[in-house]
Structure 1
Amino acid sequence: MEENGQAVTDNRSAAWDEYAQSRPQRRRTNAKGETTWFNWTQFPDHGPGADVLALKPGDIALDLGCGSGGNAAHLATLGMKSVGIDLSGRQLDKARERWPDVDGMELHQGDALAYLEDAFMVFDAIYSVFGAAWFTDPGLLLPVVHASLRPGGVFAFSQRPPVEGCYGCQASYIPKGPDEDPAIVKRWDYPPETWATMLQEYGFADVTAEVVRAPEGRRRIGTLLVRAVRRAA
């Protein structure tokens, strides 16, 4: 089992390394001229910011699937202890290259679920922006996220809304070379009301699940944003 699990992890890591190679670094500044910022949606300078997480300086936040580290770096500049986990070594290399002087940011390579299961730390917020929360079975992820949050801590994630009627485990295709088949990874899609019900079943309260509309004038898909709070003991 251990060898099989390692093979699955390695295959997924290779897929996300391919994805990282196709993605540019985050811009040096956003539309406001800020050098760090938090972005939940797939559109630049759009949607809510870090306030969704209700953090204060000194709090500890965990980014599940931190990618090249832009959101994690922003939280660190606000005075939080910012921890990121990602399967892709290439993404983490990009994060270290882009944010070499940011204090308070800690990056780890590995599987988000395994990291949470082994972590000896309680977080004030756990979040995922088009990250591991989308690509991990919620029946496995939600219990360990709940156990890893302090009472009153926030869990929030964003991803594309589901295609109507296409719910549950789906396939995502990541392009590779022109003469190679794409890499395939699993993702989990549900409508907002289903996410709300699942989170409540796993002990979360104050759940909101909504689709943030795309910027005005663009005929594009919006962003599913889900937020929940671990109930106080």
Structure 2
Amino acid sequence: MTTTPDLWHHYGRARAERDRGVPGAFRWTWGQDDGPGAEVLGELRGRVVGDLGAGAARQAAHLAVHHEPARVVAVDASPAQYEMATGLFARLAPRLRITRSDAVRHLEAERSTYDVLYSVFGAVDFTDPRELLPAAATALRPGGRLAFATLAHYLNSAPAQPEVVAADIPAKTPEGEETTMRRWVLQEQVWVKALDAAGFTGITVDTFPATSDGPGSAATLLVTAERPR
């Protein structure tokens, strides 16, 4: 029996060792230093919220502590990220629920469950949008909102794709061996078309430029859409 290597095994470990607190702010931009905050998600008090590709669940923890939702579900397929998130924020249960699952499978099992779904460079970036976006539409209640932050271009400054095509980007196995994973970096109009095909309406896209010129900096697309009522 073969298993898929956890390509997120190393991500966020250094920060988790030095910073175990709930963030005081919610940021969408790649640099985490500019742009709007949780208000993009709308009113969250009493709502059911899902974080797709939650990683260490820092954004989900912020929402659970500061915005009075009924429940925030932090979903991530990575065993290492699930373990890290649980170690950091399991104490916030039951308002925060940390779930290890593939995002598409989770959404397909939770039809009409969520008021709000979001992804901050998370599952939306690393899952075929032709699978994820329709699943998100069915998991939202009528009138529910999807919001996600994604790269406006590749981290090496190459332009985003003009069609729904993934690129192979560098990654590491748990043992530290070099490998690749797929990431979808798409132009604005491609996201709009994919959302429309999945049944979303009220689609908006805002672009936030990088706040530095350093290596690995990037502009951010912030996309919102709604499931029709």
TM-score tier by shorter-chain length is 0.7 to 0.9
Pairing 1:130–2:121 present: yes
The letter for the 1-side match of 2:64 is A
| CA pair 144-176 structure 1, distance change in 2 beyond 3 A | closer
Percent identical pairs in the alignment equals 32
Query: Do the aligned residues in 2 keep the contact of 1:36 with 1:73 (CA within 8 Å)?
Result: no
Query: What residue is the counterpart of 1:148 in the other structure?
Result: 139
Q: Secondary structure of the residue that 1:134 maps to in structure 2?
A: helix
Alpha-carbon deviations, 1:99-135, whole Å to 9, x = none?
A: 2432400011121111111225510011111111111
Pairing 1:92–2:82 present: yes
Query: Do the aligned residues in 1 keep the contact of 2:119 with 2:147 (CA within 8 Å)?
Result: yes
Q: 1:72 aligns with which of 60, 66, 69?
A: 60
- TM-score normalized by structure 1? 0.83
User: 1:94 deviation in Å?
Assistant: 2.0
Query: Do the aligned residues in 2 keep the contact of 1:20 with 1:90 (CA within 8 Å)?
Result: no
CA distance, structure 1, for counterparts of residue 128 and residue 35 of structure 2? 26
* Structure 1 vs Structure 2 CA RMSD: 2.4
User: 1:193 deviation in Å?
Assistant: 1.4
Pairing 1:18–2:10 present: yes
| CA pair 129-165 structure 1, distance change in 2 beyond 3 A | closer
Alpha-carbon deviations, 1:179-200, whole Å to 9, x = none?
A: 73x2321122210111112212
Q: Secondary structure of the residue that 2:75 maps to in structure 1?
A: strand
- Give aligned pairs, total: 216
CA distance, structure 2, for counterparts of residue 44 and residue 179 of structure 1? 27
User: 1:46 deviation in Å?
Assistant: 2.0
Query: What residue is the counterpart of 2:34 in the other structure?
Result: 46
Query: Which stretch shifts more, 96-105 or 74-83?
Result: 96-105
CA distance, structure 1, for counterparts of residue 82 and residue 201 of structure 2? 33
Q: 1:160 aligns with which of 142, 151, 161?
A: 151
| CA pair 165-41 structure 1, distance change in 2 beyond 3 A | closer
Using CA pairs below 8 Å that are at least 6 residues apart, which structure has the higher relative contact order?
2
| CA pair 177-58 structure 1, distance change in 2 beyond 3 A | closer
| CA pair 52-176 structure 1, distance change in 2 beyond 3 A | same
Mapping for residues 186-201 of structure 1, pairs under 5 Å: 186-201=182-197
| CA pair 94-199 structure 1, distance change in 2 beyond 3 A | same
The letter for the 2-side match of 1:111 is D
User: 1:212 deviation in Å?
Assistant: 1.1
Q: Which consecutive unaligned segments of at least 5 residues does structure 2 have?
A: none
CA distance, structure 2, for counterparts of residue 112 and residue 178 of structure 1? 25
User: 1:20 deviation in Å?
Assistant: 4.4
